[in-house]
Structure formats: C-alpha cells, structure tokens
Amino acid sequence: MRRSMLIRRLMATTLPAALLMGSVTSTALAEPMYGRNWSTYGLPGGIDTPTAETLPDGTLGATVSWSDYGRRSSVVFQAFPRLTTVLRYSRVDGINDYRNDGYISDRSFDLRFQVLDEQGWRPAVAVGLQDFMGTGVYSGEYIVATKTVTPSVRVSAGIGWGTLAGKPRTIDARDEGGTPNVDDWFRGDAKPFASVSWQVNDKLSLVAEYSNETYQTFYSDRSEPAQQGDEEPGSNLNLAAYYQLGRNYQVGLYTIGGETFGAQFTVALNPREATYPSGLEKAPAPVRPRPAPSADPEGWSGQWAQDPTAQPAIQTALGDAMAKEGQVLESMALTGNRAEVRIRNQRYINQSEAIGRTARLMTRALPPSVETLVITSTADGVPTSSVTLRRSDVERLENTEAGQIAAASVLSDAPASAPGLVRSPETYPRFQWALKPYVDLGIFSAEDGLTHEVGAEARASYEIAPGLILTGALRQRAFGDISQRGPGIPGQRGEHYTAEEYLADPSLETTPEGLPRVRSDTRMYTGNSDPVIPELTLAWYAKPTPTVYTRVTTGLLERAYGGVSGEVLWKPVNSPLAFGAEINRVKKRDFDQLFDFRDYEVTMGHVSAYYEFADGFTAQLDVGKYLAGDKGATLTLTREFANGWRIGAYATKTDLSAEEFGEGSFDKGVTLSIPLGWATGQPSRERVTTTLRSLSRDGGAQLNVNGRLYDRVRDSHSVKLYEGWGRFWR
Amino acid sequence: MTTARNFALATAMLGALAACSGGSHQGEGDQGGVFGALGQVAGQVVAERRGGGEAPAETAAPKSPQEAAAEALRVNQGPLIQAGFESLNRTQVMAMTGQNGALRTYMTPAEEALILRGGMLVGTRGLGNDLSVAEPQTEGLIRAGASGSGQRVMRYFSGDGLERPLQFACTVGAGPNPGVIVENCEGHGATFQNSYMVQGGQIAVSRQWIGPALGYVTIQTLRP
C-alpha cells in the first residue's frame, strides 16, 4: 500500500495544465502573478525597486545590467513557488576600497518571500532581504504589495529600509563579510517606494517608479559618503522600457533620475519548458507478444533450456539489440521460466527508459516459457537495483499509462552476484577514449573579472573487470589569460605573490594564522604551458552486501592531490535515507601537475547522511575533517527535477574563526547541472555542470575525487527511478 | 519557442565541439537500411518467428506522396500507412514494425512511430512532443458509427519529466460529408476535431489531433 502511494506521489506532476497546452490556451485562467520584467537587481520588479511578483517555480535566470553606476550580474532561482533567491556579482563604479581601482567588486545575495498571493481585491505581498550577507553595499529590506489593476497594468507600493530608503548601511572596512547582518535588518529610517508597469503588448512593457536610492556608500573609516557613478540621481523618478525576445530573453533600457541611462539583458530558462519534452530519441522496438502455446509447443515447454547453445545465442542477439539502444548487456542468467539481465545504461537520463526498452527487447528475444523478467541496473560494473516484471504484464500494459506497469513491478536490492549469471563475451576489458576541447572560465572572481583558458583534453578509461577501472586524462593548454600566480599577500589585500616568490619560500605555503595553503594557492596549478595530468587513477567499486557499496580510488585523484580515497555507502533501494563514510590519505601534488608531490600530507574524511525528501529535494550532511585539518560540517540542499535538472546550494562551517578563514567567513556555493538532452532533445547522459562558489579558501576544503557513490547508485533507486518512471514506455 | 530552439541549437553546437571519441560504446549510425535496430533484433533473435516482410529502402530523390506510397507497396509486403504531419509539413509512409493484440506500431525510416489500435491513434514516439497514450472512451461510438459523448484522456510527457493526463469532453456524430464520423473535443481551453472514415469497424482514413505542439496527423491505410 505504502509503496503504491509513493509511486503515485513521485509520478504526479505539479505542472499547470496551461503550460502543457502552450499557446493553445488563452491565459484568461487565473494564474499566479509572474513577473513580466526584470529589475536592475535581476529579480521581477520595477527598475531599482522590488515588486511582490514571483517567477514560475524552478525558473533559473541571469541578468546583466549596466549604467554609469556600475554593472550588476545576477543569477536568480525560484527555489520554491514563493521563494526567490538571487546571487549577484557587481562592479560598483566611482567608489574605492583597498584596491583603489576606481570601482569595487562586490558579491551579494538576496531573498524574497511572497507572503500572500493576489486574490480578488487583495494584492500580493512580499518581504525581501537585499544583500543580506555581503559587505553590504546594496544592503536593504522591504515589504511590498503588488496589485493587478487591469490585465496589462500592475501597481506596486512598499516600504524600504537601508539602500531602498536612501540610507545605505555603513560598511565595516575590516569586515570579512559573508555572514548575515541580522542586527541591521529593518532598522533605521524607512521610506516608501512605488512602481507601475504597463504591458503595452506581448513584447513591450513600460515601467515608471519612485525610488529613494541615492547610490551612495558609507565606509566606517571615512566621514564623507562616497558617490557611486558621477552624481546622485537627478530625481526620484526612474523610467524603463523592456522588450521580450521570444520566450527566453528580455532587453531593457532605463534611466535613473532622468540623467543616468542604463541597459540590461536577461536570459531565463524554466526546467519545465523543454523544447522537446518527450525527447527525439528513436522509437523503441515494440513488444512482441508470444505465439499461442499450440503454435510453439517447444518454446512454451521450456525444454529449449536444456540446449547449451540456447543461452549464448539469445544473449548475443539481445546484447546486439541493446547496443543499438545505447545499452550494454553485461551478463545474463536464463532458465526455462526466468531471465535476469544486468544492464549498463549509457544513453538515457532516466533509468526507467533503459529498463523499459530492455523489457521490450526481452519480449522479442526470449522463448515463450520465460515469464519472469528481472532487469538489474549496474553502475561502474556494480549492480544497484533489480526491477522484476511479469512478461504477461509487459505484453498487456504496453503503451498504457506508465503508472500501471510501475504498480505491477517490484523493485529490490540487487546482490553482487546471482546464480547462473553468465558474463557477455567481449564486455571486459573495455577501453574508451575521447579527445575534446575544454574551456575553463573564471566568472565570479572579484579580483580578476572574467578569465578564461582554452585547450584540449584527452581522456581514456580502461575497465579491466567489472568494477575495476583505470582512468586517465591529459590536458594541453592552448591559450588563455588564467596565468600562474601565488596566493594573496596577507595584510596587503589585492596584492599577490608572484609564482617565483611563492616557489622560492616554502614557508609561504602556510598562512600567518598557521593554516596550510590547501586551496588558496590554486592559481599555482594554472598557466602551465606544458601538458598536465589532471587525473590518473585506479578505482575499484564493489558491493559486499546487497545494500552496501564500496569504492577505493588510488592515484592522482585531482589536480592538486594524489593518494588513496576509500568510501563506503549504505543505501537500501527503497530507503530515502542513506549513510556513508569516506576516508582519504592524500598528498599535495606539485604545481606542474605531473608525478611529483609537495610536502603537505593529510588524512581526512567525513561521515555523511543523505535524505531524499518528497518533491525532488535532497539533503546531504557531511561531518568530518577537511583538507587543511580543520573539522566541521557541510550541508547541501539540492532541488532536482525528473528531467535531470539539479540546482543545489551548500555551506561548510569548520572550527576556523572567520578571521582564520578570511574573506567570505565560511565556504558556500551554488551548483547547477543541466542535462544536455533537455536542451537538444537528443538522448544523452551528458550534463553541463557548474559550481558558483564564493572564493578559493583553505578552510572547509573538500577533496575533489571522482566517482563518489551516492549519485551513481541512486539513479536506479526508488525515488529517482519512480520520479522518472514516465519514460518507461518511451 | 524559436528562442528555445536557438538555445537548444547553441547547446547542441557545444556538444558538437567534442571532436572525437571511441570505444566499445558506439552503437549508432552503422545501420544501412531502414529500421536497422529493429530489423536486426527481430532477424537475429527470433528469425523463425518473424512474419511480415522487409522494410522499404530509403530513397535519395524526393518523391510525391503517391510515388512514395506506390514504391512502398511494391517493396514492403507488410501493413503500411501514409501519415501526413500537418505542423511538420511532411507526409511519410510508415511500415508496421510490431503488433501486440489490436495495437500496431508503425514507423518511419527514421524510426519515428505512430501507435494505432484499429486505426485509432493511441500514441506517438520520437517526435519530441509525443503523445504518450490516448484513452478515448468514444472509441466504441466511432467504430459503430453512432452518436454520443464521452471523455478522452490524453497523456503527455511534460517538460518537468513526468507523464501528465489532459482530459477532454468529446461528442461523436456524423459529419457534414457522408461516411465521415466527427469527434469534437474540448478541454483546458482548447478544442479539436477528429474525423474518421470507418469501414467494417476499422478506421481506414482519419485526421486526428496528436496534441498541442504537433497538431493534426492525417492517416491513410495503404495496406491493412
């Protein structure tokens, strides 16, 4: 009973029907008040002022806004239907910090929560925190209400504190930033603001607003406020025109106070709006129903199973057919009435599609007496779960609602081996290689702005036996402006040691606070004009019990560390809870990224708890010792969609003080992962993955070893499998 | 919509940057004929059980639908239909690749599929905005040439990666042209009209709505 409820819940979509119907429907239906244009801060809003609008749940957007006051690059994510989050990287012109560049670079983070949605006469109401963790150049809070007056006109009015009231917060020149400034919230003078937006037609909207923003900055060590840009806005009135280009882009022109002009560009994607939602993969081979017993008495009797040539012939044919659909038949056990196949899915983002296609191919390949079909998924040569189906159910339910076959199937833990399993010939050893260009981009660096490096990478893997994999990569830089450089000089912010200085004095590899430089000298590993070896490892994956997975990886584990990494994970197939432990003995690699090591060596690791909540949220808590020997914990929250989109945020706090840690106070970041197939429609397990992290610091630094178990095992476990089960008959 | 495609195109080009790769996982692109994967599965695995004939060969020069139909009938001995996808602006011959009870799967040479039950559209595959499955309560009325009403559930694979049902209220009755049964459906702010020509309980010719993105397909039976 419980299980079928779980299946139903996981397979239920929250997508409004209107979205599915696309342009067919008029939008006359009452739908949430979604923002129609983007503010200079990268949220739905007026120009500088906020509104109570939201974005469609899950929307991911990026806005770049330029004016004489500076440039703001914002990434927005609608994390929940009512919660909008923004990460911003700004260049604020006209003011100076210790770098004396004529501008400052600033990171900021916003949250906006829609307390009430619009209903009848009641306006939508939202509360927001702007720049509530950074050094505070944009720091302010607001309460705002937005009301639809006519279908094309919306009016917003609110009350703001801090920057929004023209009373910017004083910035502590010595503060490391990165912690919430709770004492300041909703304090000081408050002033009203208002905006009105008019949707002229499908594409054009016009906005006017009344804003109190003065574009000034107060520093604790200066008596006079510093003016951003050239001068204060000429008036409180700002005007803008926004133009929508298709579904995903918007451009805007605006004036702040009538004398300062600006332009902006926004791109927004919603994981729910794929161009080809069902994918462009070729149609699956249909089910082949069995002939009547009278038409094939021999096949139905099961006597064929006595023939020793039967299984090899069937296994070869099935393996060839599966290869055409992007899968590897690793091994097979066959008796008169039961067949188990162990498969490796190399093409489909949802494991259910691999399982559904395999089930159909089995109906085409197996003699009629075989009624029980067991499809065991594997990852890195290790079985992860088994789906057991009755062949008659596959025949009966082909091309029906996917929930029916889900209810008729059984999902169970897969033991490491099963009686009668015969490995397919020529599956091991397996050699694969690829030669690709690579692009490294530094985007959110305060020191350097946008940096890049381009080159070629050769990558090969050799699977000696199931679970035993040799992997290597070789990179050659072609060009770029990410050069080798030492870490920042303590006490002289903005200045760096040269590579030569850093190499000449080994004592520099420890910070004045006594912390080994485990990540802050990351730039020493860049700028190599000779080939480098980012990774060269031998990994062994195994499964001592049906619910316990293990990994041992040894070699050059990542760019900066080599050694041995061991991991164990307990994850029953139907459990949303999992536990893991990892221990690593690693040594710091030399900066040429070949086979030499530096002096620093550490034993570190952590214990982990994982939990899969309903509705696509997962949480991971790691507690342990980090690369620099500091002890602490990392909490990661991830939202993932059945189509494979993943957006997560993490924070690490260790026993280092904010001063020992340095700028940012503690490590935090955002990870994005978008399946390539979502964008192209072509089936692929490839992903575009990026991490936006605050800064390379030594505290809370994790080892970047490849092949961690949890995400590999989970693809075929209950939550993710049933979430993606809609692709079974694809 | 177009910009979404542009994005898709840009990302595809990113993928295309990947210069080359090798190894034993390459499974695509080596089939010369039509229905490569399927033909081989059926051929190698259960050769003695395979009915029907070979698929039509892919041809180089564009042909008129009539020429294509004639050639397909000559080359292929199995059941054939001709399908015109209105929004895609193409007409193609599709050959039956599988039959499970009354369900028949027809495919184009590029392995896009229509799944029909006695001519009634039940699903599509490989078209990007596929109909996962249709559950028309009106099917009996249509086959019997009777009038009445019923519900039609159409399930789609939605952008968030889940299968989603859309419900439509439909009425069935004789159309303005003799011999044509018309099914009018309404729901979720949309309306569509399916037309069927029924012969002996089988739908021989029809124009049916696949879904919001793909619109209508006209299906003509070349060989039942």
Residue A692 in any domain: the answer is yes
Sole residue written with tokens 């500091």? A630
Residues A415, A437 share a domain? no
Residue A659 in any domain: the answer is yes
Specify the pLDDT at position A444: 56
- Pairing label, strands A170-171, A216-219: parallel
- Looking at the DSSP bridge assignments, the partners of residue B128 are A279
User: Do residues A542 and A416 make contact, with C-beta atoms less than 8 angstroms apart?
Assistant: yes
- Listing DSSP states for B189-207 in one string gives TEEEEEEEEEETTEEEEEE
Tell which wins on pLDDT, B64 or A415: A415
> Which of B41, B99, B185 should we substitute to test contact with A (largest number of A Cβ atoms within 10 Å)?
B41
Out of A247, A277, A399, whose CB is closest to B129?
A277
Specify the pLDDT at position A246: 82
d(CA A298, CA A306): 12
Tell which wins on pLDDT, A33 or B48: A33
- Distance from the B187 Cα atom to the nearest Cα atom in chain A, whole angstroms: 10
- Distance from the A25 Cα atom to the nearest Cα atom in chain B, whole angstroms: 5
Of A196, A144, A154, A143, which is closest to residue A32 (Cα–Cα)?
A154
Distance of CA A115 to the CA centre of its chain: 27
Domain final residue, candidates A369, A403, A428: A428
pLDDT at B57 over 80: no
Of A136, A202, A197, which is closest to residue A170 (Cα–Cα)?
A136
Residues A302, A255 share a domain? no
Separation in Å, CA B141 to CA B117, B146, B171: 14, 5, 10
> Which of A78, A202, A266, A278 should we substitute to test contact with B (largest number of B Cβ atoms within 10 Å)?
A278
Q: Do B129 and A269 touch (CB under 8 A)?
A: no
Residues A453, A348 share a domain? no
**Contacts of residue A329, Cβ cutoff 8 Å, sequence gap at least 6:** A315, A318, A319, A322, A323, A341, A342, A343, A424, A427
Is A232 in CB contact (< 8 Å) with chain B? no
d(CA A198, CA A153): 5
Specify the pLDDT at position A270: 86
CATH of the domain at A690: 2.40.160
Specify the pLDDT at position A173: 67
Beta strand extents in A211-269 (DSSP E only) = 216-219, 226-227, 237-245, 249-256, 260-269
Residues A413, A499 share a domain? no
Specify the pLDDT at position B199: 87
Q: Tell me how far apart the terminal alpha carbons of chain A are, to the nearest angstrom.
A: 27
pLDDT along chain A (730 residues), means of 10: 67 69 48 87 95 92 90 90 91 76 82 94 94 82 95 94 89 69 85 95 94 88 81 91 89 92 91 86 94 93 91 95 94 96 95 96 96 96 96 96 94 93 92 89 62 90 95 93 85 81 91 89 88 96 97 96 98 96 97 94 97 90 96 95 90 85 75 86 85 77 94 92 92
> What is the ipTM score, two decimals?
0.84
Residues of B in contact with A426 (CB under 8 A): 24
* Alpha-carbon dihedral A308, A311, A312, A316, rounded to 10 degrees: 160
Residue A144 in any domain: the answer is yes
Residues A459, A512 share a domain? yes
How wide is the angle at C-alpha B2 spanned by C-alphas A728 and B4, nearest 5°?
50
Residues of B in contact with A435 (CB under 8 A): 19-21
d(CA B99, CA A286): 8
d(CA A698, CA B28): 46
Residues A420, A435 share a domain? no
Bin A76: left if φ > 0, else alpha if -120 < ψ < 50, else beta.
beta
Q: Residues 624 to 683 of A: which have CB under 8 A from any B CB?
A: 641-644, 676, 679-682
Q: Do A364 and B42 touch (CB under 8 A)?
A: yes
Residues A589, A528 share a domain? yes
Out of A324, A399, A641, whose CB is closest to B133?
A399
Residue A281 in any domain: the answer is no
User: Do residues B190 and B216 make contact, with C-beta atoms less than 8 angstroms apart?
Assistant: no
Q: Do B7 and A269 touch (CB under 8 A)?
A: yes
CATH of the domain at A146: 2.40.160.40
Is B126 in CB contact (< 8 Å) with chain A? yes
Q: Give B3-38 pLDDT, tens digit per residue.
A: 333 333 333 322 222 233 444 333 332 222 222 222
- Pairing label, strands A468-480, A204-210: unpaired
Separation in Å, CA A675 to CA A271, A357, A436: 10, 20, 18
Residues A100, A167 share a domain? yes
Residue A563 in any domain: the answer is yes
What's the predicted TM-score (pTM) here? Answer: 0.86
- Distance from the B221 Cα atom to the nearest Cα atom in chain A, whole angstroms: 20
* Domain region containing A631: 431-465+467-706
**Contacts of residue A514, Cβ cutoff 8 Å, sequence gap at least 6:** none
Residues A456, A313 share a domain? no
Residues of A in contact with B188 (CB under 8 A): 17-18, 21, 24-25
Number of domains comprising chain A? 3
pLDDT at B80 over 60: yes
Residues of A in contact with B210 (CB under 8 A): none
Sheet holding A226-227, edge to edge: A170-171, A216-219, A226-227
Specify the pLDDT at position B22: 43
Residues A536, A407 share a domain? no
Tell which wins on pLDDT, B1 or A517: A517
Separation in Å, CA B12 to CA A436, A569, A639, B125: 15, 36, 25, 21
- Distance from the A314 Cα atom to the nearest Cα atom in chain B, whole angstroms: 6
Q: Do A283 and B113 touch (CB under 8 A)?
A: yes
Is A392 in CB contact (< 8 Å) with chain B? no
Out of B17, B21, B122, whose CB is closest to A437?
B17
* Max Cα-Cα span within chain B: 60
Using DSSP, state whether A309 is helix, strand or coil: coil
Of B33, B207, B24, which is closest to residue B120 (Cα–Cα)?
B207
Enter the DSSP assignment of A725: G
Residues A444, A386 share a domain? no
Looking at chain B, the whole-number percentage of residues with pLDDT higher than 70 is: 72
- Listing DSSP states for A517-540 in one string gives -SSTTGGGGS---S-EEEEEEEEE
Q: Which domains does chain B have, with CATH numbers?
A: 63-223 (2.40.360.10)
Q: Do A364 and B45 touch (CB under 8 A)?
A: yes
Residue A721 in any domain: the answer is no
Residue A345 in any domain: the answer is yes
Confidence class for position B59, pLDDT limits 50, 70, 90: very low
Out of A270, A271, A321, whose CB is closest to B37?
A321
Residues A491, A405 share a domain? no
Specify the pLDDT at position A443: 61
Using DSSP, state whether A167 is helix, strand or coil: coil
- Distance from the B210 Cα atom to the nearest Cα atom in chain A, whole angstroms: 12
Residue A729 in any domain: the answer is no
Q: Do B113 and A436 touch (CB under 8 A)?
A: no
Specify the pLDDT at position A175: 65
Is A77 in CB contact (< 8 Å) with chain B? no
